[in-house]
Protein backbone atom coordinates (compact mmCIF):
# COMPACT_ATOMS: atom_id res chain seq x y z
CA UNK A 1 0.00 0.00 0.00
CA UNK A 2 1.27 3.41 -0.89
CA UNK A 3 2.36 5.68 1.94
CA UNK A 4 1.38 9.11 0.67
CA UNK A 5 -0.89 10.40 3.38
CA UNK A 6 -0.82 14.14 3.91
CA UNK A 7 -0.59 14.86 7.64
CA UNK A 8 0.53 18.47 7.56
CA UNK A 9 -2.05 21.05 8.48
CA UNK A 10 -4.27 18.95 10.74
CA UNK A 11 -4.06 17.14 14.04
CA UNK A 12 -3.12 13.48 13.71
CA UNK A 13 -4.73 12.58 17.00
CA UNK A 14 -7.36 14.18 19.16
CA UNK A 15 -6.55 12.04 22.21
CA UNK A 16 -3.44 9.97 22.76
CA UNK A 17 -2.17 8.56 26.00
CA UNK A 18 1.58 8.40 26.59
CA UNK A 19 2.66 4.86 25.74
CA UNK A 20 6.02 3.23 26.09
CA UNK A 21 8.24 3.70 23.02
CA UNK A 22 8.24 0.24 21.45
CA UNK A 23 7.49 -1.19 18.02
CA UNK A 24 3.76 -1.88 17.76
CA UNK A 25 2.57 -5.43 17.16
CA UNK A 26 -0.88 -6.79 17.86
CA UNK A 27 -1.83 -10.44 18.24
CA UNK A 28 -5.30 -9.95 16.76
CA UNK A 29 -7.75 -7.26 15.73
CA UNK A 30 -11.45 -6.89 16.55
CA UNK A 31 -13.75 -4.37 14.86
CA UNK A 32 -17.14 -3.09 16.07
CA UNK A 33 -19.02 -0.60 13.95
CA UNK A 34 -21.26 0.24 11.00
CA UNK A 35 -21.12 0.36 7.20
CA UNK A 36 -17.84 2.30 7.20
CA UNK A 37 -16.20 -0.84 8.61
CA UNK A 38 -18.54 -3.61 7.36
CA UNK A 39 -16.57 -6.30 5.46
CA UNK A 40 -19.72 -7.92 4.05
CA UNK A 41 -21.63 -8.94 7.18
CA UNK A 42 -24.93 -7.30 6.26
CA UNK A 43 -24.53 -8.64 2.71
CA UNK A 44 -23.99 -12.20 3.92
CA UNK A 45 -26.96 -12.01 6.28
CA UNK A 46 -29.43 -10.42 3.84
CA UNK A 47 -28.37 -12.64 0.95
CA UNK A 48 -29.30 -15.79 2.87
CA UNK A 49 -32.31 -14.25 4.63
CA UNK A 50 -33.78 -13.16 1.27
CA UNK A 51 -33.93 -16.82 0.27
CA UNK A 52 -36.65 -17.31 2.92
CA UNK A 53 -38.20 -13.84 3.06
CA UNK A 54 -38.63 -12.06 -0.27
CA UNK A 55 -39.31 -8.77 1.52
CA UNK A 56 -35.67 -8.66 2.60
CA UNK A 57 -33.41 -7.00 0.03
CA UNK A 58 -29.82 -8.06 -0.45
CA UNK A 59 -27.59 -5.12 0.44
CA UNK A 60 -25.29 -3.80 -0.79
CA UNK A 61 -25.39 -5.22 -4.30
CA UNK A 62 -22.91 -4.72 -7.16
CA UNK A 63 -21.32 -2.44 -8.19
CA UNK A 64 -20.50 -2.33 -4.48
CA UNK A 65 -17.37 -4.37 -3.87
CA UNK A 66 -17.80 -7.84 -2.35
CA UNK A 67 -20.50 -6.77 0.10
CA UNK A 68 -18.64 -3.64 1.24
CA UNK A 69 -20.08 -0.13 1.09
CA UNK A 70 -17.44 1.08 -1.34
CA UNK A 71 -15.94 0.30 -4.74
CA UNK A 72 -13.04 -1.67 -3.25
CA UNK A 73 -11.45 -2.70 0.06
CA UNK A 74 -12.30 -0.57 3.09
CA UNK A 75 -10.01 0.97 5.68
CA UNK A 76 -9.97 -1.95 8.11
CA UNK A 77 -9.04 -4.27 5.23
CA UNK A 78 -6.04 -2.10 4.46
CA UNK A 79 -5.15 -1.64 8.12
CA UNK A 80 -5.28 -5.37 8.86
CA UNK A 81 -2.98 -6.00 5.89
CA UNK A 82 -0.53 -3.37 7.16
CA UNK A 83 -0.55 -4.95 10.61
CA UNK A 84 0.00 -8.42 9.16
CA UNK A 85 -3.37 -9.72 10.36
CA UNK A 86 -6.12 -11.70 8.64
CA UNK A 87 -9.51 -10.18 9.48
CA UNK A 88 -12.55 -12.47 9.28
CA UNK A 89 -16.18 -11.26 8.92
CA UNK A 90 -18.19 -12.47 11.91
CA UNK A 91 -20.91 -13.87 9.62
CA UNK A 92 -18.37 -16.32 8.21
CA UNK A 93 -17.81 -17.74 11.71
CA UNK A 94 -21.38 -17.90 13.07
CA UNK A 95 -23.53 -21.03 13.15
CA UNK A 96 -27.26 -21.73 12.93
CA UNK A 97 -27.58 -22.85 16.58
CA UNK A 98 -25.04 -23.93 19.21
CA UNK A 99 -26.53 -27.43 19.17
CA UNK A 100 -26.88 -27.41 15.41
CA UNK A 101 -23.51 -25.97 14.35
CA UNK A 102 -24.19 -25.55 10.63
CA UNK A 103 -22.31 -22.50 9.33
CA UNK A 104 -24.86 -19.71 8.85
CA UNK A 105 -24.94 -15.89 9.09
CA UNK A 106 -28.56 -16.04 10.27
CA UNK A 107 -30.59 -17.92 12.85
CA UNK A 108 -34.16 -18.07 14.17
CA UNK A 109 -35.39 -16.35 17.30
CA UNK A 110 -37.90 -17.89 19.67
CA UNK A 111 -40.78 -16.60 17.52
CA UNK A 112 -39.35 -18.28 14.45
CA UNK A 113 -38.23 -15.00 12.88
CA UNK A 114 -34.96 -14.59 11.02
CA UNK A 115 -32.20 -12.63 12.70
CA UNK A 116 -28.43 -12.34 12.55
CA UNK A 117 -26.68 -15.24 14.24
CA UNK A 118 -24.34 -14.48 17.12
CA UNK A 119 -23.65 -18.13 17.91
CA UNK A 120 -19.94 -18.76 17.35
CA UNK A 121 -19.08 -21.78 19.52
CA UNK A 122 -15.80 -20.13 20.51
CA UNK A 123 -14.70 -19.37 16.93
CA UNK A 124 -14.03 -15.67 17.65
CA UNK A 125 -11.55 -16.26 20.45
CA UNK A 126 -8.55 -17.27 18.39
CA UNK A 127 -8.59 -15.06 15.30
CA UNK A 128 -9.14 -11.48 14.19
CA UNK A 129 -12.85 -10.78 13.68
CA UNK A 130 -14.84 -7.90 12.19
CA UNK A 131 -18.31 -7.62 13.77
CA UNK A 132 -19.35 -4.39 11.99
CA UNK A 133 -22.73 -4.25 10.23
CA UNK A 134 -24.05 -1.75 7.73
CA UNK A 135 -26.90 0.23 9.28
CA UNK A 136 -25.68 -0.32 12.84
CA UNK A 137 -26.22 2.36 15.44
CA UNK A 138 -24.22 2.76 18.63
CA UNK A 139 -26.86 0.91 20.66
CA UNK A 140 -28.30 -2.58 20.18
CA UNK A 141 -30.04 -2.13 16.84
CA UNK A 142 -29.77 -0.26 13.57
CA UNK A 143 -31.69 1.88 11.09
CA UNK A 144 -33.95 1.14 8.16
CA UNK A 145 -36.97 -1.08 7.62
CA UNK A 146 -35.29 -4.02 9.33
CA UNK A 147 -33.26 -1.94 11.76
CA UNK A 148 -34.43 -3.94 14.75
CA UNK A 149 -32.70 -6.98 13.24
CA UNK A 150 -29.41 -5.21 12.59
CA UNK A 151 -26.86 -5.68 15.40
CA UNK A 152 -25.78 -2.32 16.77
CA UNK A 153 -22.40 -1.82 18.40
CA UNK A 154 -23.59 -2.86 21.86
CA UNK A 155 -25.11 -6.03 20.39
CA UNK A 156 -21.86 -6.74 18.56
CA UNK A 157 -19.88 -6.33 21.78
CA UNK A 158 -22.39 -8.53 23.61
CA UNK A 159 -21.91 -11.24 20.98
CA UNK A 160 -18.14 -11.06 21.38
CA UNK A 161 -18.51 -11.19 25.17
CA UNK A 162 -20.79 -14.23 25.06
CA UNK A 163 -18.35 -16.11 22.86
CA UNK A 164 -15.48 -15.67 25.29
CA UNK A 165 -17.04 -18.37 27.49
CA UNK A 166 -15.78 -16.93 30.75
CA UNK A 167 -12.31 -16.45 29.24
CA UNK A 168 -10.51 -13.12 29.25
CA UNK A 169 -10.35 -11.06 26.08
CA UNK A 170 -6.90 -10.96 24.52
CA UNK A 171 -5.03 -8.00 26.12
CA UNK A 172 -2.57 -7.93 23.20
CA UNK A 173 -5.22 -7.50 20.49
CA UNK A 174 -6.34 -4.21 18.94
CA UNK A 175 -10.00 -3.29 19.49
CA UNK A 176 -11.60 -0.78 17.10
CA UNK A 177 -14.89 0.89 18.07
CA UNK A 178 -16.36 3.31 15.52
CA UNK A 179 -19.99 4.28 14.98
CA UNK A 180 -22.39 7.20 15.19
CA UNK A 181 -23.54 8.37 11.74
CA UNK A 182 -26.64 6.16 11.80
CA UNK A 183 -27.65 7.71 15.12
CA UNK A 184 -27.89 11.12 13.46
CA UNK A 185 -28.50 11.05 9.71
CA UNK A 186 -32.13 9.88 9.66
CA UNK A 187 -33.18 10.40 13.28
CA UNK A 188 -35.60 13.25 13.98
CA UNK A 189 -34.38 14.06 17.50
CA UNK A 190 -30.96 12.44 17.98
CA UNK A 191 -29.44 12.23 21.43
CA UNK A 192 -25.69 12.87 21.25
CA UNK A 193 -25.12 12.11 24.92
CA UNK A 194 -26.82 8.74 24.61
CA UNK A 195 -24.84 7.82 21.50
CA UNK A 196 -21.52 8.66 23.13
CA UNK A 197 -22.60 6.85 26.30
CA UNK A 198 -23.18 3.74 24.17
CA UNK A 199 -19.64 3.93 22.83
CA UNK A 200 -18.33 4.42 26.36
CA UNK A 201 -20.25 1.33 27.47
CA UNK A 202 -18.82 -0.68 24.58
CA UNK A 203 -15.26 0.31 25.45
CA UNK A 204 -15.74 -0.27 29.19
CA UNK A 205 -17.33 -3.68 28.55
CA UNK A 206 -14.42 -4.77 26.40
CA UNK A 207 -11.94 -3.40 28.92
CA UNK A 208 -13.60 -5.33 31.74
CA UNK A 209 -13.26 -8.48 29.62
CA UNK A 210 -9.51 -7.89 29.41
CA UNK A 211 -9.09 -5.72 26.30
CA UNK A 212 -6.44 -3.01 26.67
CA UNK A 213 -5.59 -1.54 23.24
CA UNK A 214 -8.30 0.63 21.67
CA UNK A 215 -8.55 2.69 18.48
CA UNK A 216 -11.63 4.95 18.54
CA UNK A 217 -12.07 7.23 15.51
CA UNK A 218 -14.22 10.34 15.72
CA UNK A 219 -16.77 11.18 13.03
CA UNK A 220 -16.11 12.87 9.70
CA UNK A 221 -18.17 16.00 9.12
CA UNK A 222 -21.57 14.46 8.28
CA UNK A 223 -22.72 17.82 6.99
CA UNK A 224 -20.15 17.67 4.18
CA UNK A 225 -21.09 14.30 2.75
CA UNK A 226 -22.37 14.30 -0.82
CA UNK A 227 -25.84 13.36 0.43
CA UNK A 228 -25.99 16.16 3.02
CA UNK A 229 -24.81 18.76 0.51
CA UNK A 230 -27.49 17.64 -1.96
CA UNK A 231 -30.22 18.19 0.69
CA UNK A 232 -29.38 21.85 1.18
CA UNK A 233 -27.72 24.08 3.74
CA UNK A 234 -30.23 23.49 6.55
CA UNK A 235 -29.62 19.74 6.64
CA UNK A 236 -25.91 20.19 6.06
CA UNK A 237 -25.61 22.64 8.96
CA UNK A 238 -27.69 20.37 11.22
CA UNK A 239 -25.42 17.39 10.59
CA UNK A 240 -22.25 19.48 10.97
CA UNK A 241 -23.50 20.70 14.34
CA UNK A 242 -24.31 17.14 15.46
CA UNK A 243 -20.89 15.98 14.32
CA UNK A 244 -19.17 18.72 16.31
CA UNK A 245 -21.23 17.91 19.39
CA UNK A 246 -20.52 14.19 19.04
CA UNK A 247 -16.78 14.62 18.58
CA UNK A 248 -16.52 17.02 21.50
CA UNK A 249 -18.43 14.69 23.81
CA UNK A 250 -16.42 11.70 22.56
CA UNK A 251 -13.09 13.44 23.23
CA UNK A 252 -14.19 14.23 26.78
CA UNK A 253 -15.41 10.68 27.34
CA UNK A 254 -12.20 9.11 26.04
CA UNK A 255 -10.14 11.39 28.24
CA UNK A 256 -12.24 10.36 31.24
CA UNK A 257 -11.85 6.68 30.38
CA UNK A 258 -8.09 7.08 30.04
CA UNK A 259 -8.02 8.45 33.57
CA UNK A 260 -10.43 6.00 35.18
CA UNK A 261 -9.46 2.68 33.54
CA UNK A 262 -6.00 1.79 34.76
CA UNK A 263 -3.86 0.17 32.10
CA UNK A 264 -5.96 1.16 29.11
CA UNK A 265 -4.15 2.18 25.90
CA UNK A 266 -6.63 4.48 24.21
CA UNK A 267 -6.05 6.16 20.87
CA UNK A 268 -8.55 8.45 19.16
CA UNK A 269 -8.21 8.84 15.41
CA UNK A 270 -9.01 12.31 14.05
CA UNK A 271 -11.05 11.36 10.98
CA UNK A 272 -12.84 14.71 11.13
CA UNK A 273 -9.66 16.63 10.32
CA UNK A 274 -8.57 14.13 7.67
CA UNK A 275 -11.82 14.45 5.72
CA UNK A 276 -12.02 18.20 6.06
CA UNK A 277 -8.43 18.47 4.86
CA UNK A 278 -9.26 16.30 1.85
CA UNK A 279 -12.23 18.53 1.05
CA UNK A 280 -10.24 21.74 1.48
CA UNK A 281 -7.15 20.46 -0.38
CA UNK A 282 -8.32 17.73 -2.76
CA UNK A 283 -5.30 18.03 -5.05
CA UNK A 284 -3.00 16.93 -2.20
CA UNK A 285 -4.87 13.62 -2.16
CA UNK A 286 -5.14 13.20 -5.92
CA UNK A 287 -8.86 14.03 -5.84
CA UNK A 288 -10.83 16.16 -8.28
CA UNK A 289 -14.37 15.75 -6.88
CA UNK A 290 -15.14 15.95 -3.15
CA UNK A 291 -18.80 17.01 -3.27
CA UNK A 292 -20.56 14.48 -5.51
CA UNK A 293 -20.87 10.69 -5.46
CA UNK A 294 -19.18 8.60 -8.12
CA UNK A 295 -22.12 6.19 -8.10
CA UNK A 296 -25.35 7.68 -9.38
CA UNK A 297 -27.53 6.90 -12.38
CA UNK A 298 -24.21 5.87 -13.92
CA UNK A 299 -20.76 5.23 -12.50
CA UNK A 300 -18.12 7.89 -12.94
CA UNK A 301 -15.17 6.98 -15.14
CA UNK A 302 -12.55 8.10 -12.61
CA UNK A 303 -13.56 6.78 -9.14
CA UNK A 304 -9.99 7.12 -7.85
CA UNK A 305 -10.43 10.89 -8.07
CA UNK A 306 -13.65 10.94 -6.03
CA UNK A 307 -13.93 11.24 -2.27
CA UNK A 308 -17.41 9.69 -2.16
CA UNK A 309 -18.48 6.43 -3.75
CA UNK A 310 -22.16 7.04 -2.96
CA UNK A 311 -23.91 9.77 -1.01
CA UNK A 312 -22.32 8.93 2.34
CA UNK A 313 -19.63 6.28 1.86
CA UNK A 314 -16.04 6.95 0.77
CA UNK A 315 -14.32 5.45 -2.24
CA UNK A 316 -11.67 2.84 -1.67
CA UNK A 317 -8.91 5.42 -2.24
CA UNK A 318 -10.38 7.51 0.58
CA UNK A 319 -10.52 4.38 2.76
CA UNK A 320 -6.88 3.79 1.92
CA UNK A 321 -5.94 7.26 3.17
CA UNK A 322 -7.86 6.60 6.37
CA UNK A 323 -6.02 3.31 6.86
CA UNK A 324 -2.70 5.05 6.38
CA UNK A 325 -3.66 7.61 9.03
CA UNK A 326 -4.61 4.80 11.42
CA UNK A 327 -1.41 2.87 10.74
CA UNK A 328 0.67 6.00 11.29
CA UNK A 329 -1.16 6.61 14.57
CA UNK A 330 -0.55 3.06 15.73
CA UNK A 331 3.12 3.00 14.77
CA UNK A 332 4.51 6.42 15.65
CA UNK A 333 7.97 7.02 17.01
CA UNK A 334 8.70 7.40 19.86
CA UNK A 335 5.10 6.59 20.89
CA UNK A 336 3.16 3.38 20.38
CA UNK A 337 -0.20 1.87 21.24
CA UNK A 338 1.31 -1.39 22.38
CA UNK A 339 0.46 -2.68 25.83
CA UNK A 340 3.79 -2.05 27.61
CA UNK A 341 3.25 -4.94 29.99
CA UNK A 342 3.12 -7.55 27.23
CA UNK A 343 6.31 -9.32 26.12
CA UNK A 344 7.16 -8.58 22.51
CA UNK A 345 7.83 -12.18 21.58
CA UNK A 346 4.23 -13.13 22.31
CA UNK A 347 2.86 -10.60 19.83
CA UNK A 348 4.70 -11.39 16.64
CA UNK A 349 1.84 -13.11 14.82
CA UNK A 350 -1.68 -14.39 15.15
CA UNK A 351 -1.77 -17.54 17.28
CA UNK A 352 -2.79 -20.84 15.80
CA UNK A 353 -6.47 -21.52 16.30
CA UNK A 354 -7.42 -24.01 18.97
CA UNK A 355 -9.59 -27.00 18.22
CA UNK A 356 -12.49 -24.88 17.00
CA UNK A 357 -13.76 -26.07 13.60
CA UNK A 358 -13.49 -23.47 10.83
CA UNK A 359 -16.95 -22.96 9.30
CA UNK A 360 -17.37 -22.60 5.57
CA UNK A 361 -17.78 -19.06 4.32
CA UNK A 362 -21.37 -19.72 3.24
CA UNK A 363 -23.92 -22.33 4.25
CA UNK A 364 -25.38 -24.59 1.58
CA UNK A 365 -28.85 -23.30 0.79
CA UNK A 366 -30.04 -26.88 0.58
CA UNK A 367 -28.87 -27.65 4.11
CA UNK A 368 -30.43 -24.50 5.50
CA UNK A 369 -33.60 -25.22 3.54
CA UNK A 370 -33.95 -28.51 5.39
CA UNK A 371 -33.30 -26.69 8.66
CA UNK A 372 -35.98 -24.17 7.76
CA UNK A 373 -38.56 -26.90 7.13
CA UNK A 374 -37.73 -28.23 10.57
CA UNK A 375 -37.87 -24.79 12.16
CA UNK A 376 -40.25 -25.84 14.96
CA UNK A 377 -37.71 -28.39 16.08
CA UNK A 378 -34.87 -25.90 15.76
CA UNK A 379 -36.71 -23.37 17.92
CA UNK A 380 -37.14 -26.03 20.58
CA UNK A 381 -33.41 -26.75 20.40
CA UNK A 382 -32.63 -23.04 20.74
CA UNK A 383 -34.82 -22.75 23.82
CA UNK A 384 -33.11 -25.75 25.31
CA UNK A 385 -29.65 -24.29 24.74
Q: Who wins on pLDDT, 28 or 355?
A: 28
Residue 342, pLDDT score: 34
| Residues comprising the chain, all counted | 385
Domains of the chain: 13-384 (3.40.50.1110)
Does 299 have pLDDT greater than 60? yes
Q: Note the pLDDT of residue 200.
A: 98
CA-nearest of 103, 198, 200, 98 to 154 is 198
Q: Which residue has the higher pLDDT, 32 or 353?
A: 32
pLDDT averaged over every residue in the chain: 84
Residue 53 CB neighbour total at 10 angstroms: 11
- E strands within the chain? 13-16, 29-33, 87-89, 95-97, 100-103, 106-108, 114-116, 128-130, 174-178, 213-217, 265-269, 289-293, 306-308
pLDDT cut 90: percent of the chain above it: 72
What is the C-alpha separation between 13 and 273, in angstroms, rounded?
Answer: 9
pLDDT in tens, 312-336: 999 999 999 999 999 999 986 433 3
| Contact (Cβ atoms closer than 8 angstroms) between residue 16 and residue 26 | no
Which tens digit of pLDDT belongs to each residue from 277-294?
999 999 999 999 999 999
pLDDT at 1 over 70: no
User: Which phi-psi region, left, alpha or beta, contains residue 180 (left: φ > 0; alpha: ψ -120 to 50)?
Assistant: left
pLDDT tens-digit map of 51-95? 988 888 999 999 999 999 999 999 999 999 999 999 999 999 999
- Determine the Cα angle at 213 with ends 247 and 68, to 5°: 65
Beta bridge partners of 175: 30, 214
Give 296's pLDDT tier (boundaries 50, 70, 90). Answer: very high
Averaged over 186-204, what is the pLDDT?
Answer: 94
User: How many CB atoms are closer than 10 A to CB 248?
Assistant: 14
Would you say the C-alpha torsion 375, 380, 381, 383 has a positive or negative sign?
A: positive
Rounded average pLDDT over 302-307 = 98
Average of per-residue pLDDT across 362-381 = 45
| Nearest alpha carbon to residue 76 among 16, 35, 126 | 35
Residue 8, pLDDT > 50, answer no
Break the chain down into helix, strand, coil percent, rounded to 5: 40, 15, 45
Whether the per-residue pLDDT at 177 is higher than 70: the answer is yes
Q: Give pLDDT, residue 78.
A: 98
N- to C-terminal Cα separation, the chain? 46
What local confidence, expressed as pLDDT, does residue 332 receive?
Answer: 66
**The predicted structure's pLDDT at residue 53:** 87
Q: What pLDDT is recorded for position 328?
A: 94
pLDDT at 119: 96
User: Mind listing the pLDDT tens digit for each residue in 22-46?
Assistant: 346 899 999 999 999 999 999 999 9
Amino acid 166: pLDDT: 81
Residues 153-172, mean pLDDT to the nearest whole number: 95
Per-residue pLDDT band for 221 (boundaries 50, 70, 90) equals very high
- Give the pLDDT band (50/70/90) at residue 194: very high
Q: pLDDT by residue (tens digit) across 227-254?
A: 999 999 999 999 999 999 999 999 999 9
Q: Output the CA–CA distances (angstroms, integers) from residue 226 to 95, 219, 254, 296, 297, in the order listed.
A: 38, 15, 29, 11, 15
Does residue 18 carry a pLDDT above 50?
A: no
13/102: higher pLDDT:
102
d(CA 65, CA 71): 5
CA distances from 279 to 3, 9, 50, 119, 223 (A): 19, 13, 38, 42, 12
pLDDT for the residue numbered 378: 47
Work out the percent of the chain whose per-residue pLDDT is above 70.
80
3-state DSSP of 312-326: CCECHHHHHHHHHHH
Distance CA 320, CA 355 (A): 35
Rounded Cα distance, 315 and 36, in Å: 11
Whether the predicted pLDDT of 269 surpasses 60: yes
> CB-based contacts of 245: which residues, under 8 Å, 6+ apart?
192
- CB-CB neighbours of 124 under 10 Å: 23
Amino acid sequence: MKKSIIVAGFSLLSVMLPFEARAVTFSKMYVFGDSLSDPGNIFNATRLASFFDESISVIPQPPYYEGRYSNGPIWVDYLAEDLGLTLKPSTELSVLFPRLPLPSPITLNFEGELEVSFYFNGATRNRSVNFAFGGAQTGFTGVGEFGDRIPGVLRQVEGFKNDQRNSSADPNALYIVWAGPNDYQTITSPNVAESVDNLETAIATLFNLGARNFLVPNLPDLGKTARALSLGSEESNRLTSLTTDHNGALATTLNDLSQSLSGINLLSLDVYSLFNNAIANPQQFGLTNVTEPCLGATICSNPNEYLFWDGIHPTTVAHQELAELAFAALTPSPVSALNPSAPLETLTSEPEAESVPEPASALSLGMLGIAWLLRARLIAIAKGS
